[in-house]
A and B are shown apart, each in its own frame.
Chain A
Amino acid sequence: MSEQIATFATIFFSMILVNNYVLVQFLGICPFLGVSKKLDSSFGMGMAVIAVMVIATAVTFPLQIFLLDAFALGYMQTIIFILVIAVLVQLIEITLKRYIPALYQSLGVYLPLITTNCCVLGVTILAVQDYSAIVQESGFGLAFAQALVCAAGAGVGFLVAMLLFCGVRQRVENANPPESFKGLPITLVAAAITSLSFMGFGGLVENIINAIL
């Protein structure tokens, strides 16, 4: 049992630190640079991304196993996943608007933005890549649970990256870089350095969790 917990914890925390989608795998850079100007908007975007990632993985993972793999349609993965994510985001938006208008208001424009977020598509595709082998080994249930944990970790990782970079960015705004570096160039340099710092987490999580359990 503790081995299972260790696996899940490793997946979750390595998605946040070691395989951080934004800072290590360089997916979803557009919202990362576009929405990180203000703390509250980056928080809203991060929460929306967490929700959509988990729900999208919950739908696409069974779809891949039971439909695409079963009928040898693996090459249709990208287009079908995009279709599913677009429908899902719309559906979430309609549902939120009806039942939780306050949350709908605070997420605002970020929810529809996620429709075309490569980060979300990346999570669904990579989850299938990494965990579909486990389906044969130890059944669909475990693989599905691991994929969901992976998606949640990826979402939290996105949120962490957004919040951290938001702080970095406010520091950069108050600094006085050379004229030609002002604006996007210095932001990209700052993003690169932030990303570099995350490279330092490689191998860390597994060792820590093995040591604890």
Chain B
Amino acid sequence: MNPIVLAIVVLVVLGLAGGFILVLAAKFMAVYEDPRIAQITDCLAGANCGGCGYAGCADYAKAIVEDGAPTYKCAPGGDKTADAINRIMGAEESDRPSLRATVLCAGGENCGTRFDYQGVQTCAAAAAVAGGPSACAYGCLGLGDCTRACKFDAIHVVNGVAVVDRSKCTGCTACTAVCPRGVIQMKPIAPQPAVKCSNRDKGAAVNKICKVGCIACGLCVRNCPQQAIFLKDNVAAIDYTKCNGCGTCVTKCPKKAIQWVEGAPRPIDAPVPEHEVL
């Protein structure tokens, strides 16, 4: 046979055989996929930012259809996307508690240092040196890994502690992922009090190292009219499903460790500004 013809025949036959095998495989080993998953993926922002807590847009769409995940979690897409998803799912409009990054530390200049750190100026590097330079083993290191991770210019280090600008924060969670101390957490968007401390040591130890650390005295727990506060690991924690933002805890806290989530950390003696009181 002519070698050129032979070559063409061999290639065509191999190609056809491969195609045929794939067609058969796709047919016999097909996995049924809900068509709504593809539709929802199209509605989502498509940035694969992971702000919803899933590994990308397609994964979130799958979770909505298969596991009944909430439809409002796409932060970049906003209400428009949530409405579109609700239309596809035929679901009623649901509550949409958007989350924003909140730094659970008010330390900074209120917190002492254990040693003078002169190394690479990133939180990740500093945290790796002998447990970190700050006196508090749980608090913000203030070297700005979160600032560099933020694509929206929404988090900055002010007086040695990271502060979120909630008007710019989109809730993408890039900063929460990068913080080596894990002091940035997602909290509801409404102006509510937050326990700005993550220190799990006993009160006496906290008292020595930080002017604004939670000493787990329990005053807030006893005084909260909604019973929304409880103590866990020597830190107060607020249950935001119960909190109505009355601000009793903010005024009661003797260490000013519970603060309104917006704004820079205050010195311990400064009065709560009027615009932050509900």
Contact = CB atoms under 8 A, between A and B. Distances in A.
Interface in B1-22: 3, 6-7, 10-11, 14-15, 18-19, 21-22
Given A76-B11, A94-B26, A174-B122, A83 B18 contact: yes
B10 A73 contact: yes
A38 interface: no
Given A97-B31, A98-B29, A176-B120, A67 B10 contact: yes
A11 B170 CA distance: 54
Contact of A80 (B14, B21, B31, B128): B14
Contact of B29 (A76, A83, A87, A94): A94
Contacts of A174: 120, 122, 124-125, 128
A94 B122 contact: no
Given A67-B10, A87-B22, 5 more contacts: A71-B6, A73-B7, A76-B7, A97-B31, A174-B128
Nearest to A104: B31
Contacts of B125: 174
B120 A87 contact: no
A84 B11 contact: no
Please classify the interface of chain B as helix (H, G, I), strand (E, B), loop, or mixed, using the class held by over half of its residues: helix
A91 interface: yes
A84 B29 contact: no
A83 B25 contact: no
A174 B123 CA distance: 10
A87 B10 contact: no
Contacts of A71: 6, 10
A25 interface: no
A79 B8 CA distance: 12
B181 to A, nearest CB: 16
B33 to A, nearest CB: 10
A96 to B, nearest CB: 10
Contacts of B31: 97-98, 101
A97 B3 CA distance: 40
Interface in A69-86: 71-73, 76, 79-80, 83-84, 86
A90 B122 CA distance: 43
A91 B10 contact: no
Contacts of A97: 29, 31
A175 interface: yes
Contacts of A210: none
A91 B21 contact: yes
A123 B66 CA distance: 41
A95 interface: yes
12 contacts: A71-B10, A79-B11, A80-B14, A83-B11, A83-B18, A84-B14, A86-B18, A87-B22, A91-B22, A94-B25, A95-B29, A98-B29
Report, nearest first, the 6 A-B pairs whose CB atoms are least far apart. Answer: A87-B18, A98-B29, A94-B25, A174-B125, A176-B120, A94-B29
A92 to B, nearest CB: 10
Interface in A167-184: 174-176
Contacts of B128: 174
Nearest to B122: A174
Interface string B104-147: 00000000000000001010110010000000000000000000
Contacts of A101: 31
A72 B29 contact: no
Contact of A72 (B3, B21, B120): B3
A95 B30 CA distance: 9
Contacts of B30: 98
B50 to A, nearest CB: 14
Interface in B175-201: none
Contacts of A91: 21-22, 25
A86 B14 CA distance: 12
A159 B17 CA distance: 32
A174 B120 CA distance: 7
Contacts of A90: 22, 25
B119 to A, nearest CB: 9
Nearest to A175: B120
